[in-house]
Amino acid sequence: MDYVFSILILVGIYIVLAASFNLIIGRAGLASIAHPIFFALGAYTAALLAIHFGLNPVLATLAGAVVAAVFSLMISLPSLRISGDYLMITSIGFQLGLLQVIKNIEITGSQGGLSNIPTPIAGPERGAVFSIIALAAAAGTVLLIRWIVRGPYGRAINAMRDDELAFIALGRDATRIKIAIFAVGCGLAGVAGGIYAFYFQYLTPEQYEILASGTMLTMVVVGGMGSTWGPVVGALMLVALPQAITFLQLPPSYMAPVQGMIFTLLVILFLFLKPQGLVSPEPPAPLAHRRAGRV
């Protein structure tokens, strides 16, 4: 039963990550792939506050989200001047650089990881309670993003993504929108981090390397970037597939690499067969002048 709960919790966390990532790269078109590091910032902040100051987990998680949002400025500010592949590589650099710091300072437990994070809930109901929290966070995130995207703010985001110059020429402020989106997206990743820290009680920097970026990107792209449910589908797939593969009952020394091979092959297959993603993009909200012809 614990096993089922940990799967549900992972699903919840992944949905939060995928949806928030989609907000940044899918909706706003900002090519940052450093999402894992914000997940890490949230997790480590929440964990350290709980360990050293005994802060209650909800506040600690919120603090983690705030820290992640603040750090997002380090990417959103440069993104104002550079974009495209340059931004992508810079974000990788930011992620790995910050990871190096985490790996080398003692307070984070460095390479060995941060252990013995206090848990608010003990006992047999632990799994169930955390599952509810994680899934609620997932639902909340998806609904929040849907609300942002469907409202007038959402139209601005779409316009900015589709043609930034025109957007600026029309007198809109791209800067503020970019910074805000980054902050919201990264803050949500921070929340996911806090939940992870308090359930699993152990953090290690290895989970946030460049492969984690690939994983999160996969969730978003394979799920479908242009829709609300795409990331949800992507997250579900990313948790379900590896678990399904474990049921193949391979001998242990082959299990991990074969699992990896099957998974990566499937991703490649999806990329070629369904490049739009599993969930088709939603049609944009209707606007009067759209019917007059293509913008």
Partner 1 sequence: MKVNRRVVLKAAVAGALSAGLPLRLWAQNRSNLKFGLAMPLTGSQSAYGKDQVTAAQWAVDEINAKGGVQGHKLEMIVLDTQADAQVGISTVNRLISVEKVPVFITAWSAVVKAVAPIANREKVLELSVGANSPEIASLGDYVFTTFPLADVDVNAVARYAHQSLGKKTAAVLYINNDTGVEAAKVYRDAFESVGGKVVAYEAYDPKATDYSGMLLKVRAANPEMVHIHGLITDLPQVIAQMRQLGLQQRVSTYSAGYNPNIIKQLGPAAEGLIVTSLAPGVGERPQVKEYVERWQKQENRVPNGLPYTQYLHDAPVMVARMYEWVLKNKLPITGENMRKALLGVRRFDLPLTGVVEVDATHRVKKPVNLMTVEKGKFVLLATVN
Partner 2 sequence: MFEPAVLAQILWTGLATSSHMVLFTIAFALVLKVVKLWNFAQAGMMAIAFYAMYAGVNQFGWPTLPSVGFGLALTLAATLALERFGFRVLRARRSSSLLFFIFTLVCSEFAAYALTLIFGTEPAPLFERILSPVRIVAGIAVSDWDLLALGVTIGLATALALYLRFSSDGRCLVAVSDNAELAELYGISAKRAYLIAFALASVLVCAGMYLYGTRTAVIPTAPLQLMIFAVIATLLGGMGSVLGAAIAAVTLSLLQSYSILIVPSKWQGMILYVFLFVTILFFPSGAHPMRLLRRFGLRRG
Q: Which positions lie near partner 1, rule CB under 8 A? A: 1-3, 6, 103-104, 106, 110-113, 115-117, 119, 122, 200-202, 204, 206-207, 249, 252-253, 255-256
Query: Based on C-alpha coordinates, what's the Rg of the chain?
Result: 19
The Cα–Cα gap between 140 and 240 comes to 21
- Choose the contact partner of 128 out of partner 1, partner 2, none; CB within 5 to 8 A by kind: none
Q: Which long-range contacts (CB under 8 A, 24 or more apart) does 246-252 make?
A: none
133-152 in b/e burial notation, b at 16+ Cβ within 10 A?
bbbebbeebbeebbebbeee
- Choose the contact partner of 46 out of partner 2, partner 1, none; CB within 5 to 8 A by kind: none
The Cα–Cα gap between 183 and 221 comes to 21
- CB-based contact 223:235 (threshold 8 Å): yes
- Choose the contact partner of 226 out of partner 1, partner 2, none; CB within 5 to 8 A by kind: partner 2
Distances 22 to 45, 102, 105, 188 between C-alpha atoms, Å = 23, 26, 32, 12
- Choose the contact partner of 61 out of partner 2, partner 1, none; CB within 5 to 8 A by kind: none
- Choose the contact partner of 249 out of partner 1, partner 2, none; CB within 5 to 8 A by kind: partner 1
The Cα–Cα gap between 52 and 55 comes to 8
Smaller CB distance to partner 1: residue 56 or 115? 115
Smaller CB distance to partner 2: residue 84 or 124? 84
Residues within the interface to partner 2 (CB under 8 A): 25-26, 29, 31, 33, 78, 81-86, 88-90, 92-94, 96-97, 100-101, 104, 162, 164-165, 210-211, 213-214, 217-218, 221, 225-226, 253-254, 256-258, 260-261, 264-265, 267-268, 271-272, 275-276, 281
For residue 225, what are its two tokens? 């970037």
